[in-house]
Structure 1
């Protein structure tokens, strides 16, 4: 099955189990100023997870395009992307753990055809501070799934990723973690604002035994090791708590909030730990190979960055975002300019975006026809930004090369930003890639120069008036 087959099969699988398919939300959240982008399928459903009645009922499913830029500098490895599709299903006060876990198991092993012997999971270890118990219920359901497949699962308490790296999971299928298996939008139970929902979750991982363990992430490997042997495929959140001033109360009804990475499941289906080999990314890589004459094998990281960032920029353009210096526009500008910078390493010194966008649009023509309908508009937006940056890229790189004497300062990064169009994070990244040290105070120094510039602009405007 390729990614498009898996998306279609997933939606049908849950439709057959009484779920209504809902439309995707815009990448830019509507009426939610707390976040720049929809980074999960649940964001549009927050009122309903808190208890409101959804017009489509208590069982929902969708495939939601998402953008997450907190891992942008990780893009280039085999599994991180800034743009991805999240397959989702929800129970709003309907079924719970005893149905969700077997259904996801059935989808992965029975529909997609993944090997049960390579599936590992994690569950919540509990939090005594807030009187939230260990999630033995989910573990018991998982034990029954493994047992039915003839697998002796085993359990291990790891607590933290650091402890897991010291002791390993020793082949146990079910690993208990603390904060890592608590899901909320704030990232941790302690950081949750009053009124925010959350709950224990159970993650599913696929083992790639031929990927060697990297001891940089700990002496031993385990489910949540970041070395790339275990790749997370999906996460079932059992959202049953809400933050209060004193701790947590239970929600009026227990919910299931599942999200899974389409590209990662598609990669597992072809037995590849590299999500860029999946059918929603590999055609973009092949197009880059054809355009540049470079090969994926020799320029792996650069091609991954370009493919991911242009795909994300295309969807941002579809949803009305335009490159700029603030909020969503700044992120879009950073994606495009970072793609152009890495394309420079592929030998691309002329405009190329217009040659890649049709490939991306073609991949989503059936699932998201709006990408195809806005094809010409998308190209115009991206090409304009590409041209603006490419005019100064080479001069900016030469300027950076002259910064080799001592740490790169925030003032110098401001010059790269203001004169040559380098988003400041790209300037920092480029400096470090070249082996230069960066001032520990670069952000403070850069922000000070930005404030000076704004003050000069305000003064100039007053004089003009």
Structure 2
């Protein structure tokens, strides 16, 4: 078994352990491997709670569910390869709507992390909830006040408590609206800490994100998800990466044609802006490989 297969195997076992743990508690569990969004607020699913947002705001709904949700966030594109920032990742989620308390959520996660052999180095709590929530940990973990421990998606907000190991945030518990629970822990970060799995380098991170987007049913294009996929294919080519897929081969050919076109025309239009080049000729000047600059 090669290193890639080992990484998938250990991460897969961790997700399976979480599934089994949830089911043992009588909590419904779903595994979602597509990054297609559950609403139109994002191009890709960015959090496990996305599909449940209507339930947080529905006072008549009560219940608790859990999932592992494939997510994609492009905000960390320039930070990938440092071992802590990813594009694609799997979020282990727990969501309770007017049923589970903050204390019960804390117990749930400390118990599950304990089964993995992991004890947080410390947790953080917003100062406004320090007096109320500190006793819920019952002295099991050091607590640090943090005024940044508040979460909002623009509509729903709540105080939160965050879990840290080796200086890295591994997950948090949010208390939306004061009566719900929204928990998210990154499976890849847990896998790195628990199983010692080596972090992906930048090339592997790009390949993983591209593969997941394609597997979710998207094709390269000029808009929305298709544009993001094309951008990642272009970035992979620009940094010297390879991918055995027709979409990559087609994008390399496309980039070569655009470079040739730019070289042929740039001396005729020396003062044109990058926006003009893109709008008029479909050439993203800033993304051209060095040979075409």
Corresponding residue for 1:439?
Answer: none
The residue aligned with 1:205 is 164
Give me the TM-score of the superposition, normalised by structure 1: 0.54
Count of residue pairs the alignment pairs up: 279
Asked if 2 retains the 8 angstrom alpha-carbon contact of 1:334 and 1:423, the reply is no
> Could you tell me whether the CA contact under 8 Å between 2:274 and 2:284 is conserved in 1?
no
Change (3 A) 1:342 1:123: same
Structure-2 residue corresponding to 1:459: none
Alignment of 1:125 onto 2:84: no
Alignment of 1:362-401 (within 5 A): 379-390=245-256, 392=258
Work out the CA distance in 1 between the residues paired with 2:226 and 2:109: 37
> Could you tell me which residue of structure 1 aligns to residue 145 of structure 2?
176
Q: 1:119 to 1:386 in 2, by over 3 A?
A: farther
Secondary structure of 1:21's counterpart equals: strand
- Please say if residues 32 and 70 of structure 2, whose CA atoms lie closer than 8 Å, have aligned partners that are also in contact: yes
Equivalent residues of 1:23, 1:62 under 8 A apart:
yes
- 1:275 lines up with 2:199 in the alignment: yes
- Please say if residues 306 and 340 of structure 1, whose CA atoms lie closer than 8 Å, have aligned partners that are also in contact: no
Residues 1:353 and 2:278 are matched in the alignment: no
Cα displacement (A) at 1:23: 4.7
Instruction: Give the whole-Å Cα distance in 2 for the aligned partners of 1:343 and 1:262.
Output: 28
CA contact (8 A) 2:28 2:66 kept: yes
Offset at 1:415?
Answer: 3.9
Partner of 1:46 in structure 2? Answer: 53
Relative distance call for 1:137 and 1:15 in structure 2 (3 A) is farther
For residues 77-101 of structure 1, give each alpha carbon's deviation from its aligned partner in whole angstroms, at most 9, with x where no partner exists: 2211111111111111111111111
* Alignment deviations for residues 303-328 of structure 1 (CA, whole Å, 9 cap, x no partner): x2221122112221222222122222
C-alpha deviation, 1:24, in angstroms: 2.1
- After superposition, residues 47-446 of structure 1 pair within 5 angstroms as 47-51=54-58, 58-108=63-113, 110-114=114-118, 116=119, 119-126=121-128, 134-146=129-141, 153=142, 174-178=143-147, 180-185=148-153, 192=154, 196-207=155-166, 230-240=167-177, 254-271=179-196, 275-276=199-200, 304-343=201-240, 352-354=242-244, 379-390=245-256, 392=258, 411-412=273-274, 415=277, 421-422=283-284, 424=286, 426=287
Partner of 1:360: none
Larger Rg: 1
Match of 1:357 in 2: none
- The alpha carbon displacement at 1:22 in A equals 2.5
The SS at the match of 1:22 is: strand
Distance 1:265 1:393, change over 3 A: farther
Distance 1:91 1:412, change over 3 A: closer
Q: Deviation digits for residues 117-176 of structure 1, max 9, x if unmatched?
A: x522111123xxxxxxx3433322235323xxxxxx3xxxxxxxxxxxxxxxxxxxx222
Structure 2 spans left out of the alignment, 5+ residues = 1-8
Structure 2 distance, partners of 1:387, 1:308, is 23
CA distance 1:94–1:390, shift in 2 (3 Å): farther
Distance 1:394 1:88 in 2: 48
Secondary structure of the 1:145 match is coil
Q: Distance in 2 between matches of 1:383 and 1:52?
A: 51
**Unmatched 5+ stretches in structure 1:** 127-133, 147-152, 154-173, 186-191, 208-229, 242-253, 277-303, 345-351, 355-378, 403-407, 437-465
Give the CA deviation at 1:9.
Answer: 0.2
Change (3 A) 1:238 1:422: same
| 1:353-393 deviation digits (Å, cap 9, x = unpaired) | 11xxxxxxxxxxxxxxxxxxxxxxxx344443343235556
Greater RCO, 1 or 2 (C-alpha within 8 Å, sep 6+): 2
Deviations 1:165-211 (A, max 9, x none): xxxxxxxxx22222x211112xxxxxx3xxx111011111111xxxx
TM superposition score normalised by structure 2: 0.82
3-state SS in 2 of match to 1:315: helix
